[in-house]
């Protein structure tokens, strides 16, 4: 099962194989690794250039972090303020406790509209609740309008990144998908030709489908407004042409004041796409007669977020503004791309967000899918200390293991428990060094190196040698050296 699941990635944390297993097919796929590394190297370089030109970048980060922290600490009040303002402006606010409820609200709204077709702006929140397959199963035809999402939808692929979801697919692969699904045999892989094909495909949807679904980058409590930022303008089409707009947003997306956008839009564009400003920033508040959708619904989705909010050490996870800078900077993500994370939220933020959304019942391998190098924290525009949260989640996973009988046969678990005992007394530690040297001696070759180890050690020696343990430890050498005279500069010539 796991191999099939890994080849056709399952982005459902409940069903996905553990990260180390899910990463294997990707590591063996040169095309995919090249596509991912190339794409994120390009974005990273652009980001680095544009961040460097901001002399007050660290102050901006601090301001963005403070805004998000304040919003979360007063989330209940700001959500109620948003609801009041949005309703006053002619919108309807719905509250969804979980994915199931959110999907039911969307379906009910679509039935009220007699909608058999719906167009969508790119929204990862809808992917989180697996909205598309549920709508399709209920007989609703869903049409993605974001270029990357079209590629994924037509190619029956899964997103591997939250800002550029099709970054694992290169343009010759896009050409193949479009040619096959749009019936364009002579399509070239020239980006202009590809976008023209998408444009033709989309225009007809925009003009004929009166119902749209969007996500939200920000909800503004002060005005009841919603903001979506994007690069292509397809979102703007969805926000202006349809009769009915349904916006799905996580409850954490709220900002207290309109002026907070001044900070957030600066850090978001630079962090996400390496642009000074994103090409399309849409802001709308309720409904305006004669202008844009006349029916407007906002679904505020909890789906595990309140539970995260209630835990002080983990709360910072919800500061995330989905810029993806952390995954672009992550050396693990650079090798694996997004599918290995088994969730629509990959990379470092996914490694902390997904298991928490699953209330630590699934995706327990994800907190360990990091070398703790700290690159994610360094680039995060809202200063989420991702390594700190990773460690907190790791300790929760280990605390689950402590109650599991399987721990007694897990060499890693037992090794660390025993090591703890050995480190508690110097004489125990020194005895274990001696025994370790004798034990490893059986595996040490004449060249003084270990080339192959059993059990958990084989995980090291499958690609790396290990130098055999030296005859004398440092503390042994120190003790043998005995007391020294006070150091004199002349010692070096001895």
Partner 1 sequence: MRASLFITCYNDTLYPETGRAVVSLLERLGVQLEFHPKQTCCGQMHANTGFRGEAFSQAKRLVRLYQDTETVVIPSSSCVAMIRDQYPGLIEELGNDQLRREFAALLPRVYELSEFLVDRLGVEDVGAYFPHRVTYHASCHGVRALHLGERPYRLLAKVRGLDLAALPNTDRCCGFGGTFSVKNAEVSSAMLAVKLQDVVSTGAEFCTALDNSCLMHLGGAMHRQYAGMKTIHMAQILASTEAMPAEGFL
Q: Which of residues 14-53 bind partner 1 (CB under 8 A)?
A: 19-20, 23-24, 27, 33
CB of 336 to partner 1, least distance (A): 6
Map the footprint of partner 1 across residues 64-103, applying CB under 8 A: none
Helix 30-52, helix 260-272: angle, nearest 10 = 140
3-state class (DSSP) for residue 219: strand
Residue 426 CB, shortest distance to partner 1, in Å, is 4
- If you count them, how many residues does the chain have? 494
Residue 300 near residue 252, CB atoms below 8 Å: no
Residues 423-482 close enough to bind partner 1 by CB under 8 A: 423-426, 429, 433, 436, 449, 451, 456-457, 459-460, 462-467, 469-470, 472-479
Are 43 and 54 spatial neighbours (Cβ–Cβ below 8 Å)?
A: no
Residue 210 or 468 having the CB closest to partner 1: 468
Strands (E), 414-478: 449-450, 466-467
Q: Which is nearer to partner 1, 325 or 393 (CB)?
A: 393
Contact residue for partner 1 among 394, 407, 410, 443 (CB under 8 A): 394
Q: Which residue do the tokens 């009040």 mark?
A: 77
> Is residue 397 a contact residue for partner 1 (CB under 8 A)?
yes
- From CA 2, how far away is CA 343, in angstroms rounded? 15
Q: Which of 335, 360, 410, 443 binds partner 1 (CB under 8 A)?
A: 335
Distance CA 245, CA 178 (A): 28
SS3 185: coil
x/- site string to partner 1, residues 186 to 225, per CB under 8 A? ----------------------------------------
- Shortest separation between residue 308's beta carbon and partner 1, angstroms: 18
Minimum CB separation of residue 473 from partner 1 in Å reads: 5
Distance CA 131, CA 181 (A): 22
Please, which residue, 137 or 409, has the CB nearer to partner 1? 409
Cα separation of 94 and 105, whole Å? 8
In angstroms, give the least distance from the CB of 453 to partner 1.
Answer: 10
Map the footprint of partner 1 across residues 298-317, applying CB under 8 A.
none
Closer residue to partner 1, CB minimum distance, 1 or 493: 493
Residues 354-393 interacting with partner 1 (rule: CB under 8 A): 367-375, 377-378, 388, 391, 393
Q: What is the spatial distance between Cα 465 and Cα 445, in angstroms, rounded to a whole number?
A: 11
Residues between 255 and 294 that touch partner 1 (CB under 8 A): none
CB of 142 to partner 1, least distance (A): 34
Q: List binders of partner 1 among 160-179 (CB under 8 A).
A: none
To the nearest whole angstrom, how small is the minimum distance from the Cβ of residue 483 to partner 1? 11
CA distance 229 to 281: 4
Least distance (Å) between residue 484 CB and partner 1: 7
Give the count of residues interacting with partner 1 (CB under 8 A).
Answer: 74
CB atoms within 10 A of CB 394: 15
**Of the ranges 81-89, 146-154, 208-216, 331-339, which one interacts with partner 1 (CB under 8 A)?**
331-339
Angle of CA points 292, 297, 300, to nearest 5°: 135
- Helical residues (DSSP H) of 96-242, grouped into ranges: 99-112, 124-128, 131-137, 147-155, 171-182, 191-208, 234-240
Q: What are phi and psi of 405, to 5 degrees?
A: -65, -25
């Amino acid at each position: 099962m796991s191999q099939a699941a890994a080849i056709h990635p399952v982005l459902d944390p409940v069903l996905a194989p553990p990260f180390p297993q899910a990463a294997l097919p990707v590591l063996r796929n040169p095309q995919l690794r090249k596509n991912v590394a190339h794409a994120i190297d390009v974005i990273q370089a652009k980001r680095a250039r544009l961040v460097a030109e901001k002399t007050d970048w660290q102050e901006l980060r601090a301001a963005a972090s403070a805004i998000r922290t304040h919003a979360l600490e007063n989330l209940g009040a700001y959500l109620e303020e948003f609801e009041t303002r949005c309703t006053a402006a002619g919108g309807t606010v719905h509250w969804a406790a979980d994915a199931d409820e959110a999907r039911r609200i969307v379906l009910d709204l679509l039935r009220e509209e007699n909608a058999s077709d719906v167009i969508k702006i790119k929204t990862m929140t809808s992917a989180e609740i697996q909205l598309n397959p549920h709508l399709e199963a209920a007989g609703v035809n869903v049409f993605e309008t974001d270029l990357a999402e079209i590629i994924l939808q037509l190619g029956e692929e899964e997103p591997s990144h939250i800002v550029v979801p099709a970054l694992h697919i290169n343009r010759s692969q896009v050409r193949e998908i479009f040619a096959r699904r749009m019936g364009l045999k002579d399509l070239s892989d020239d980006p202009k030709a590809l976008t023209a094909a998408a444009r033709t495909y989309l225009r007809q949807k925009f003009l004929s489908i009166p119902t749209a679904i969007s996500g939200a980058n920000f909800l503004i409590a002060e005005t009841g407004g919603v903001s979506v930022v994007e690069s292509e303008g397809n979102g703007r089409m969805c926000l202006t042409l349809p009769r009915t707009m349904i916006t799905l947003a996580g409850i954490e997306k709220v900002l207290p004041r309109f002026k907070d956008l001044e900070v957030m839009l600066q850090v978001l564009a630079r962090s996400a796409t390496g642009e000074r400003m994103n090409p399309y920033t849409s802001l709308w508040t309720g409904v305006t007669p004669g202008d844009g959708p006349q029916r407007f619904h906002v679904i505020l989705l909890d789906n595990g977020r309140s539970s995260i909010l209630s835990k002080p050490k983990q709360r910072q996870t919800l500061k995330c503004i989905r810029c993806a800078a952390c995954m672009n900077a992550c050396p693990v993500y650079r090798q694996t791309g997004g599918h290995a994370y088994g969730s629509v939220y990959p990379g470092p933020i996914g490694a902390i967000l997904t298991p928490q959304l699953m209330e630590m019942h699934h995706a327990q391998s994800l907190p360990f899918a990091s070398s703790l190098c700290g690159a994610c924290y360094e680039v995060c525009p809202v200063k989420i200390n991702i390594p700190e949260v990773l460690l907190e989640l790791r300790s929760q996973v280990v605390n689950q293991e402590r109650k599991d009988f399987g721990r007694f046969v897990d060499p890693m678990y037992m090794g660390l428990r025993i090591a703890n005992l050995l480190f508690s007394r110097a004489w125990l530690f020194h005895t274990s060094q001696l025994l370790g040297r004798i034990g490893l001696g059986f595996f040490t070759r004449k060249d003084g190196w270990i080339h192959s180890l059993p059990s958990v050690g084989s995980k090291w020696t499958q690609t790396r040698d290990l130098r055999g343990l030296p005859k004398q430890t440092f503390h042994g050498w120190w003790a043998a050296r005995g007391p020294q005279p006070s150091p004199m500069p002349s010692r070096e010539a001895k």
